[in-house]
């Protein structure tokens, strides 16, 4: 191999990264560029430089033909080192590590079951990523780690998910990760996470430019004339792989300049014909087996005896088509493109034959179906039922840890199955499994497409088979926010059902209820749920009964019939408790509804219990599409109970899973939930605002539950920072109008209260009064502290109207109510309203008492925002009332007219608009504004808004 040419700057940047890592820092870097530009070469160089007793260098390479091997590149990089580390220190992997990572790393499997391995981890993809990261971190305690992953553009889906996960955080200390890849071919998941990490400033990108002509001259054969060199350089564009290939074309008479202009793959193929048949076959056999490959196995595949193989190998080495790897008998192609060139020019019949022999060979060596599936897929012809069976079996083995791979193989199997009525049942089974694997791997749209294919195969009168699939399609549509399509199909199916079929009717009604609920048509939802309940009233199947009862519970609660909801929920809970894990796993969506119903009923512990169990099962069995929905219910319960950190943690998990699943609605809800937790934890509004804005964006144009929640949270946060009038209007629209029909009744008081505050912030008392009335009316039906929200809404109103005593009284009633319901944050917030009202009413002792209470709550919930409310209120409590009048009311120094102007300023009006409104000239307003700024001692108009919002009683 020619010595390394050029690349001084890149080498020095990587050297710097090494020294950062040696010094305890973490670095994530990428080396990018077109095929053959020298990425692998640079990585090799780094590996050699970094290899030192005080560092561990791990090297993994993804390969084009093996990109469906789950965790391929990570196993390649990590397995041996983990093995060695485990031998030295078995404590490296605890029970949790083994649980989650045994399916990933063979080393852990070899180190056996001890150490508290309790269950198979199933498809907890996020858990697995977290655990892999922990393992890496533990490895770095001994020595810094340099993890080099090459050809990442061919990375398998599971490894990609792990890298995506790593890229969400700054790199851990003592860890240097370098990814090399061709940017154009990078899977979009990784492209996004890399862009984001770059924007966040924790990823460094090294892009390799072409070599200069001087550097090129060092690379090609030294005998090249300068004319040849110029022609070669021009054709190659300074690409080393190209330069090498042209150099290889060189005959005794010099470079054949007619070949110089060939595109690179053609150029590589052009290297091959002049070879001996044995050489070519050995090379092709290697290409079939892998990169790197074992020469002995390749020889067997090419049907060469030892001496012949030896001669052939010499030929390949001499032509620099393959290179030794350092392990005995194991060779690597000069470049992955050489392997593809070899593979692509081999005759199809020869390849099929070789793959078939590879299957036999691998079987003979005891390799499992998983190891041979890829060859089977390549070798099989249409109608090869053995191949179908192997692929199906292999898929079954990997579906839990690598559902995307399973989907791939099942897809191959389905294609191989001949078209005939006879094979239909088998195709249906395959399609069912394929849809399931696709669903588990988060490819929901593709999954529902396959279910649609499947439904077409079901005879029209087999409703018992059709309906569960139709419901599955509807579930996917609901997740994707396609409510209308789901409803249309469910209703068509319902009409097609002749009389009878109560089970199928019930299932369709439950799905229709769920869809209606999610899009905010609550009465319609209740209607369907009621019918489902009647249809299953004497159904012996606990699953169907549970589904109907849960739907009934959640829709009754949402529409304010708490009595019915409580009864249905109690029955459903009893059934849920009686289900074994397998039965429960079939009912995850309905368990989720039951959990939410309990939440609406104010039964938070119950909600947590149901959602917790379901989430556990979903993780273990890989039914991750419902997981965010379950986690968000847990999150809600934590949030209300003031366990903010836990709420944030659970919401973050939901976010990660929603991203993997590609579900925008779930993503939006998770982001909104995070924003809600963050604003109370953090105190500063910036991060929460960002989250809320992203939540609204993720919900997109869709209405439905996600959009509503996102706008609610955004309004709440915007109100604390500035003008929330626009988001408030959006909120009303997303809620179905001013009576908020799209919100469950139980949530309405809370929404009405928020709208009250936004109206007060805009100085619109009449509107605020209407919102308060709305809160009070909704509160008559609802649990969840509905009355307390209504009381707090009226407290705000009275504070602004100047009846501070009444305001304090109402706020205290709200606080007591929230306290009894177990909502400490809401209680604290209500006490803050009370404290301010007491202060305004000159009842300083009472105010101080409230502030002490808030402080305690702020401490126990670790809420900076509540703590800040205390500080702000304390500042407002006068030491001597005369001196502090101005402090209490920052507008005290303003004249009546100036106050008026300030109030309008705070709504975001321009001076001209204010002038128009007050029928005066703009000059007058200009003068007022500058006086206001002076008197209030604030630098800008924006600050007037801020002051008004932070000190006015309309704000929190």
Ligand X SMILES: Nc1ncnc2c1ncn2[C@@H]1O[C@H](COP(=O)(O)OP(=O)(O)OP(=O)(O)O)[C@@H](O)[C@H]1O
Residue numbers at the binding site for Mg ion (CB under 5 A): 39-40
Decide whether 323 or 899 has the Cβ nearer to ligand X: 323
Decide whether 217 or 938 has the Cβ nearer to ligand X: 217
Q: Which two tokens stand for residue 667?
A: 């993503």
Q: How far is the CB of 153 from ligand X (least distance, A)?
A: 7
Decide whether 154 or 409 has the Cβ nearer to Mg ion: 154
Q: Which two tokens stand for residue 557?
A: 């609660």
Instruction: Give yes or no for a contact between 342 and 287, defined as CB atoms under 8 angstroms apart.
Output: yes
Which residue in the block uniquely carries the two structure tokens 């309905």? 590
Binding of ligand X by 219 (CB under 6 A)? yes
Instruction: Give yes or no for a contact between 128 and 96, defined as CB atoms under 8 angstroms apart.
Output: no
Q: Which span sits near ligand X by CB under 6 A: 129-137, 239-247, 567-575, 939-947?
A: 239-247
d(CA 852, CA 539): 56
Decide whether 11 or 311 has the Cβ nearer to ligand X: 11
Q: Which span sits near ligand X by CB under 6 A: 29-37, 158-166, 565-573, 894-902?
A: 29-37
Decide whether 7 or 401 has the Cβ nearer to ligand X: 7
For the chain, how many residues are written?
956
Reduce the DSSP state of residue 907 to 3 states and report it.
coil
Q: Which residues pair with 294 in a beta bridge?
A: 330
Closest CA to 403 of 454, 440, 373, 450: 440
Binding of ligand X by 213 (CB under 6 A)? no
Neighbours of 294 (CB within 10 A): 16
Q: Which span sits near ligand X by CB under 6 A: 14-22, 37-45, 301-309, 473-481?
A: 37-45
Decide whether 26 or 33 has the Cβ nearer to Mg ion: 33
Which parts of 137-166 interact with ligand X (CB under 6 A)?
A: 151
d(CA 51, CA 16): 15
Q: Which two tokens stand for residue 217?
A: 């001259």
Decide whether 238 or 707 has the Cβ nearer to ligand X: 238
Question: Phi and psi at residue 172, in whole multiples of 5°?
Answer: -65, 155
Q: How far is the CB of 271 from ligand X (least distance, A)?
A: 13
Q: Which span sits near ligand X by CB under 6 A: 39-47, 75-83, 429-437, 586-594?
A: 39-47
d(CA 140, CA 832): 48
d(CA 901, CA 914): 7
Q: How far is the CB of 942 from ligand X (least distance, A)?
A: 51
Decide whether 341 or 833 has the Cβ nearer to ligand X: 341
Decide whether 5 or 497 has the Cβ nearer to Mg ion: 5
Q: Which span sits near ligand X by CB under 6 A: 28-36, 87-95, 449-457, 734-742?
A: 28-36
d(CA 954, CA 907): 13
Q: How far is the CB of 150 from Mg ion (least distance, A)?
A: 6
Q: How far is the CB of 265 from Mg ion (least distance, A)?
A: 15
Q: Which span sits near ligand X by CB under 6 A: 33-41, 604-612, 622-630, 698-706?
A: 33-41
Binding of ligand X by 6 (CB under 6 A)? yes
Q: How far is the CB of 420 from ligand X (least distance, A)?
A: 43
Binding mask 54-73 for ligand X (x = CB under 6 A): --------------------
Q: Which two tokens stand for residue 807?
A: 């305001």
Q: Which span sits near ligand X by CB under 6 A: 35-43, 436-444, 506-514, 627-635?
A: 35-43
Q: How far is the CB of 457 from ligand X (least distance, A)?
A: 43
Instruction: Cite the DSSP H helix spans in 263-347.
Output: 264-269, 277-289, 295-301, 306-318, 336-345
Decide whether 6 or 628 has the Cβ nearer to ligand X: 6
Binding mask 323-352 for ligand X (x = CB under 6 A): -----------xxxx---------------
Q: CB burial class (10 A; 0-12, 13-18, 19+) of residue 452?
A: middle
Q: How far is the CB of 80 from ligand X (least distance, A)?
A: 23
Neighbours of 393 (CB within 10 A): 15
Q: Which span sits near ligand X by CB under 6 A: 30-38, 159-167, 222-230, 256-264?
A: 30-38
Binding of ligand X by 602 (CB under 6 A)? no
Q: How far is the CB of 31 from ligand X (least distance, A)?
A: 8
Residue from the set 14, 39, 556, 828 that interacts with ligand X by CB under 6 A:
39
| Contact partner at residue 219 from Mg ion, ligand X, none, CB < 5 to 8 Å by partner kind | ligand X
Q: Which two tokens stand for residue 702?
A: 């869709």
Closest CA to 445 of 471, 408, 407, 473: 473
Closest CA to 796 of 780, 784, 811, 777: 811
Residue from the set 10, 20, 38, 163 that interacts with ligand X by CB under 6 A:
38
Q: How far is the CB of 2 from Mg ion (least distance, A)?
A: 16
Instruction: Cite the DSSP H helix spans in 306-380.
Output: 306-318, 336-345, 348-364, 369-379
Residue least distant from ligand X (Cβ): 38
Give pairs for 893-902: CB < 8 Å, separation 24+: 893/935, 893/936, 894/932, 894/935, 894/936, 897/928, 898/928, 898/931, 898/932, 898/935, 901/925, 901/928, 901/929, 901/932, 902/932, 902/936, 902/944, 902/948
Which parts of 242-271 interact with ligand X (CB under 6 A)?
A: 244
Binding of ligand X by 845 (CB under 6 A)? no
Q: How far is the CB of 129 from ligand X (least distance, A)?
A: 26
d(CA 570, CA 556): 13
Binding mask 94-133 for ligand X (x = CB under 6 A): ----------------------------------------
Q: Which two tokens stand for residue 862?
A: 């670790």
Give pairs for 485-492: CB < 8 Å, separation 24+: 486/511, 486/515, 487/512, 487/515, 487/516, 490/515
d(CA 504, CA 255): 75
| Contact partner at residue 792 from Mg ion, ligand X, none, CB < 5 to 8 Å by partner kind | none
Decide whether 58 or 558 has the Cβ nearer to ligand X: 58
Question: Phi and psi at residue 738, in whole multiples of 5°?
Answer: -65, -10
Q: Which span sits near ligand X by CB under 6 A: 36-44, 257-265, 391-399, 618-626?
A: 36-44
Decide whether 84 or 212 has the Cβ nearer to ligand X: 212
Binding of ligand X by 37 (CB under 6 A)? yes
Binding of ligand X by 241 (CB under 6 A)? yes
Residue from the set 130, 134, 168, 182 that interacts with ligand X by CB under 6 A:
182
Closest CA to 259 of 267, 251, 268: 267
Residue from the set 30, 40, 236, 839 that interacts with ligand X by CB under 6 A:
40
Strands 204-207 and 145-150: unpaired
Q: Binding residues for ligand X, how many (CB under 6 A)? A: 24
Residue from the set 33, 70, 560, 744 that interacts with ligand X by CB under 6 A:
33
Residue least distant from Mg ion (Cβ): 40
Q: How far is the CB of 18 from ligand X (least distance, A)?
A: 19
Q: CB burial class (10 A; 0-12, 13-18, 19+) of residue 720?
A: middle
One-character DSSP codes across 882-894 = TTTHHHH-TTTTS
Q: How far is the CB of 180 from Mg ion (least distance, A)?
A: 6
Q: How far is the CB of 299 from ligand X (least distance, A)?
A: 24
Reduce the DSSP state of residue 741 to 3 states and report it.
coil
Decide whether 37 or 322 has the Cβ nearer to ligand X: 37
Interface residues with ligand X (CB under 6 A)? 1-2, 4-7, 33, 35-41, 151, 182, 219, 240-241, 244, 334-337
């Amino acid at each position: 191999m020619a010595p390394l040419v050029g690349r001084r700057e890149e080498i020095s940047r990587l050297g710097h990264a090494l020294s950062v890592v040696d010094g305890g820092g973490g670095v994530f870097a990428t080396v990018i560029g077109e095929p053959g530009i020298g990425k692998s070469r640079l990585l090799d160089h780094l590996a050699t430089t970094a290899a030192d007793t005080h560092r561990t260098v791990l090297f993994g390479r993804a390969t084009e033909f093996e990109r469906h091997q789950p965790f391929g590149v990570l196993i390649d990089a990590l397995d041996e080192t983990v093995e060695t580390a485990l031998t030295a220190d078995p404590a490296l992997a605890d029970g949790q590590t083994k649980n989650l990572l045994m399916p990933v790393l063979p080393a852990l499997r070899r180190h056996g079951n001890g150490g508290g391995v309790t269950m198979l981890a199933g498809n907890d993809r996020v858990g697995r990523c977290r655990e892999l990261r922990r393992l890496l971190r533990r490895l770095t305690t001994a020595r810094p780690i340099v993890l080099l992953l090459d050809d990442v553009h061919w990375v398998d889906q599971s490894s990609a998910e792990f890298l995506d996960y790593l890229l969400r955080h700054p790199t851990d200390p003592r860890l240097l990760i370098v990814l090399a890849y061709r940017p154009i071919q990078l899977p979009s998941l990784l492209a996004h996470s890399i862009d984001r990490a770059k924007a966040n400033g924790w990823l460094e990108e090294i892009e390799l430019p072409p070599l200069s002509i001087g550097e090129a001259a060092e690379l090609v054969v030294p005998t090249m004339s300068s004319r040849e060199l110029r022609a070669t350089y021009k054709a190659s564009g300074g690409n080393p792989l190209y330069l090498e290939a042209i150099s290889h074309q060189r005959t005794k008479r010099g470079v054949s300049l007619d070949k110089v202009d060939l595109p690179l793959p053609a150029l590589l193929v052009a290297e091959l014909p002049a070879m001996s048949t044995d050489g070519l076959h050995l090379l092709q056999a290697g290409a079939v087996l892998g990169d790197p490959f074992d020469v002995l196995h390749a020889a067997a595949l090419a049907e060469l005896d030892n001496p012949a193989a030896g001669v052939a190998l010499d030929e390949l080495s001499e032509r620099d088509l393959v290179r030794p790897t350092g392990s005995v008998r194991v060779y690597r192609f000069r470049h992955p493109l050489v392997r593809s060139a070899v593979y692509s020019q081999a005759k199809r019949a020869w390849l099929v034959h070789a793959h078939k022999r590879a299957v036999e060979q691998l079987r003979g060596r005891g390799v499992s179906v998983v190891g041979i599936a890829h060859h089977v897929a390549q070798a099989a012809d249409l109608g090869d039922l053995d191949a179908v069976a192997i692929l199906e079996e292999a898929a079954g083995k990997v579906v839990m840890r690598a559902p995307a791979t399973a989907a791939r193989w099942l897809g191959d199997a389905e294609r191989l199955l001949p078209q005939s009525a006879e094979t239909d049942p088998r195709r249906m089974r395959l399609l069912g499994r394929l849809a399931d694997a696709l669903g588990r791997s988060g490819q929901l749209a593709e999954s529902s497409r396959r279910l649609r294919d499947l439904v077409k195969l079901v005879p029209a009168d087999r409703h018992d088979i059709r309906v569960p699939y139709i419901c599955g399609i509807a579930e996917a549509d609901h997740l994707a926010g396609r409510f209308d399509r789901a409803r249309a199909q469910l209703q068509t199916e319902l009409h097609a059902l002749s009389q009878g079929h109560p089970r199928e009717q019930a299932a369709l009604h439950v799905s229709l209820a769920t869809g209606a609920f999610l899009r905010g048509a609550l009465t319609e939802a209740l209607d369907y749920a009621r019918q489902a309940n009647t249809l299953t009233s004497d159904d012996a199947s606990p699953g169907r009964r549970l589904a109907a009862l849960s739907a009934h519970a959640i829709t009754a609660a949402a529409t304010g019939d708490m009595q019915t909801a409580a009864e249905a929920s109690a029955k459903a809970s009893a059934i849920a408790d009686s289900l074994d894990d397998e039965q429960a796993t079939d009912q995850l969506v309905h368990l989720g509804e039951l959990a939410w119903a309990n939440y609406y009923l104010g039964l938070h512990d119950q909600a947590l219990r149901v959602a917790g169990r379901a989430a556990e099962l979903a993780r273990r069995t890989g039914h991750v599409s419902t997981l965010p929905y379950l986690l968000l219910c847990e999150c809600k319960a934590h949030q209300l109970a003031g366990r903010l950190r836990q709420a944030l943690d659970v919401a973050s998990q939901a976010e990660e899973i929603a991203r993997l699943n590609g579900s925008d609605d779930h993503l939006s809800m998770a982001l909104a939930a995070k924003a809600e937790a963050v604003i109370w934890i953090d105190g500063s509004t910036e991060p929460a605002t960002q989250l809320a804005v992203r939540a609204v964006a993720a919900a997109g144009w869709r209405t439905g539950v996600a959009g509503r929640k996102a706008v609610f949270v955004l309004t709440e946060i915007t109100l604390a920072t500035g003008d929330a009038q626009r988001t408030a209007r959006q909120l009303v629209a997303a809620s179905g109008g001013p009576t908020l029909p799209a919100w469950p009744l139980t949530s309405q008081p809370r929404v009405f209260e928020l709208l009250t505050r936004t109206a007060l912030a805009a100085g619109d008392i009449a509107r605020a009064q209407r919102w308060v009335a709305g809160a009070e009316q909704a509160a008559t039906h609802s649990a969840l502290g509905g009355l307390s929200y209504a009381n707090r809404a009226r407290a705000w109103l009275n504070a602004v109207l100047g009846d501070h005593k009444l305001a304090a009284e109402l706020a205290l009633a709200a606080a007591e109510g929230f306290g009894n319901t177990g909502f400490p944050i809401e209680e604290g917030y209500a006490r803050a309203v009370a404290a301010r009202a007491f202060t305004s009413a000159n009842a300083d002792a009472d105010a101080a008492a409230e502030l002490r209470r808030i402080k305690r709550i702020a401490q126990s919930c670790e809420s900076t925002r509540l703590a800040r409310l205390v500080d702000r209120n304390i500042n407002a409590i006068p030491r001597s009332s005369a001196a502090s009048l101005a402090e209490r009311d920052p507008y005290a120094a303003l004249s009546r007219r100036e106050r008026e102007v300030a109030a309008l300023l705070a709504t975001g009006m321009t001076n001209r608009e204010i002038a128009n409104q007050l029928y005066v000239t703009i000059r007058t307003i200009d003068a007022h504004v500058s006086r206001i700024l002076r008197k209030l001692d604030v630098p800008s108009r924006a600050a007037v808004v801020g002051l008004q919002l932070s000190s006015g009683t309309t704000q929190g």
